[in-house]
């Protein structure tokens, strides 16, 4: 049996129902599979049912959990998802800052000789090897689709995994060995054998603190020979 409603009750219910319909339409336009049924006036059977519907409708139309944003590319995400992404970016930034502060005071060297500059000073000078410690921003506006959004969030979460740094250091070691093999060929065997003998953490330490540990491709044979001589002398590989 329908409960007797005053005109004020009916007007409020119509207004709430209109709000729910608009929200449903918004969700549909966003491609979000969430829908709340309205409550027709003639289907109200009790005050409890009516009040429960009011609460549910309020949470749906005004609650934080049901608020979504859409960027210029049409990518949609909820406020909760965006807050999590922002929080992950902030946590990654803090972790990067911690790692940077551990090495920042150390002196930077070239050919094994201290330069008088700290690693932090080198970073402030724009040395790109320290870009891995830069702050992270989550830029929702640049993500062109939902897949990019989810991949970006997953990437941030992965960077907080303790195994992430281990994998990155291992990758750095592999990349350096490949760079030497490509640039120096068989003449770089002593250098590649030396790097292979180091742990990934030791490779990272040298890469961040020694100028000649960053390898770039050189075309001139004489320059390549000179670079090999400098590297071998720095690490006493000429004795091997």
**For all residues of the chain together, what is the average pLDDT?**
93
Task: Say what the pLDDT of residue 239 is.
Answer: 59
Domain end point (choices 120, 138, 160): 160
> Rounded to whole angstroms, how far apart are CA atoms 57 and 169?
51
DSSP 145-174: SHHHHHHHHHHHHHHTSHHHHHHHHHHHHH
Report yes or no on 71 lying in a domain. Answer: no
- For residue 127, give both structure tokens: 């040395």
**Does the predicted model carry a pTM greater than 0.85?**
no
Report yes or no on 1 lying in a domain. Answer: no
Domain end point (choices 160, 175, 197): 160
Looking at the structure of the chain, the number of domains it has is: 3
Q: How confident is the model at residue 2 (pLDDT cuts 50, 70, 90)?
A: low
178: domain range?
Answer: 163-239
pLDDT tens figures, 77-126: 999 999 999 999 999 999 999 999 999 999 999 999 999 999 999 999 99
DSSP 185-197: GGGGHHHHHHHHH
> Rounded to whole angstroms, how far apart are CA atoms 237 and 231?
8
pLDDT at 4 > cutoff 80: yes
Q: Are residues 134 and 87 in the same domain?
A: yes
pLDDT at 238 > cutoff 80: no
């Amino acid at each position: 049996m329908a409960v007797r409603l005053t005109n004020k009750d009916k007007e409020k219910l119509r207004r709430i129902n209109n709000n729910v319909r608009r929200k449903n339409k918004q969700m549909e336009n966003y491609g979000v599979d969430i829908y709340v049924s309205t409550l027709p006036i003639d289907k109200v059977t009790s005050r409890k049912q009516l009040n429960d519907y009011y609460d549910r409708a309020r949470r749906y139309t005004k609650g934080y959990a049901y608020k979504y944003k859409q960027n210029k590319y049409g990518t949609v995400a909820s406020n909760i998802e965006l807050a999590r992404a922002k929080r992950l970016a902030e946590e990654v930034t803090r972790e990067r800052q911690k790692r940077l502060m551990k090495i920042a005071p150390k002196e930077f060297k070239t050919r094994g000789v201290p330069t008088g500059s700290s690693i932090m000073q080198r970073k402030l000078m724009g040395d790109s090897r320290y870009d891995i410690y830069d702050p992270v921003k989550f830029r929702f506006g640049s993500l062109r689709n939902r897949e990019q959004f989810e991949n970006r969030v997953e990437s941030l979460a992965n960077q907080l995994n303790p195994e992430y740094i281990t994998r990155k250091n291992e990758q750095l070691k592999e990349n350096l060995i490949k760079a030497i093999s490509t640039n120096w060929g068989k003449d770089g065997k002593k250098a590649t054998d030396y790097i292979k003998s180091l742990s990934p953490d030791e490779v990272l330490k040298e890469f961040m603190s020694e100028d000649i540990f960053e390898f770039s491709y050189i075309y001139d044979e004489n320059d390549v020979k000179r670079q090999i001589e400098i590297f071998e002398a720095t690490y006493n590989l000429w004795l091997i």
